[in-house]
Amino acid sequence: MHTDAAAAPSRLAHHFPDMKTQEHAARMGMWLFLSTEILLFAVLFTAYAVYRFLFPQGFDEASKLAHVAMGATNTVVLITSSLTVALAIHYARLGENRKVVGLLGVTILFGLTFMVLKGFEYHHHWVDGQLPGRLYHYAGLQGPGVSMYFTIYFLMTGLHGLHVLIGMSVLGWVAWRAGRGEFGPGYSTPVELSGLYWHLVDLIWIFLFPLLYLM
């Protein structure tokens, strides 16, 4: 197989016959990994469905306590960051590494914005005592299923926030590699795969936002 002749020899691991196979393997591994991530979240989505079914009124009332404006802003922020990461992949394939650095930097800033806004939301909930399970002590709303909403809310957004942080770190590392001019027509897999991960993190948020804030 003939890929980029300059990049291939140094990137090719000894146990692969050619770069094409190696990149195919890497992509496939990433997709499988993403499927495990979806199943990790699936447990929480299942719990959400079960408890929403058991406590329709409690969930309905508790979800009105969510800060919709910040949640909506965060949705826009994350969707925009998907665009910047997609552009980064485009320019990585063209070998324009400086643009890759810039776009990934912007993506990380979007991630940071998301986390800061999320932090404000958490702070408000914390101050108001809108916390999971036995920690819940908000006098303004009591009733069956209300504390369960916040259990699910903090578990889902907490796990998602952790993924945003991991995604930012991975993108930071890839941006550093782009800064060394590593990517080009023959080699852009790390940008593509970290971009895939970032898209998944966005996609999960797109499901979390309506379920937790709007319904």
Query: Footprint of another protein on this chain (CB under 8 A)?
Result: 13-17, 21, 24-25, 28-29, 32-33, 35-37, 39-44, 46-47, 50-51, 54-55, 58, 132-135, 144-145, 147-148, 151-152, 155
Residues in the chain: 215
Task: Give the CA dihedral 99, 105, 108, 113, nearest 10 degrees.
Answer: -120
Query: Which uninterrupted H or E stretch holds 131?
Result: none
Q: Report in angstroms the alpha-carbon separations of 151 from 115, 145, 202, 210, 212.
A: 19, 10, 22, 17, 12
57, 145 contact by CB (below 8 A): yes
Complex with another protein: residue 50 or 76, whichever CB lies closer = 50
Q: Which is nearer to another protein, 35 or 169 (CB)?
A: 35
Beta bridge partners of 187: 184
Taking the complex as a whole, the smallest distance from the CB of residue 195 to another protein amounts, in Å, to 19
Smaller CB distance to another protein: residue 44 or 100? Answer: 44
Q: Cβ closer to another protein: 91 or 163? A: 163
CB of 210 to another protein, least distance (A): 22
As measured in angstroms, the least distance from the Cβ of 108 to another protein is 25
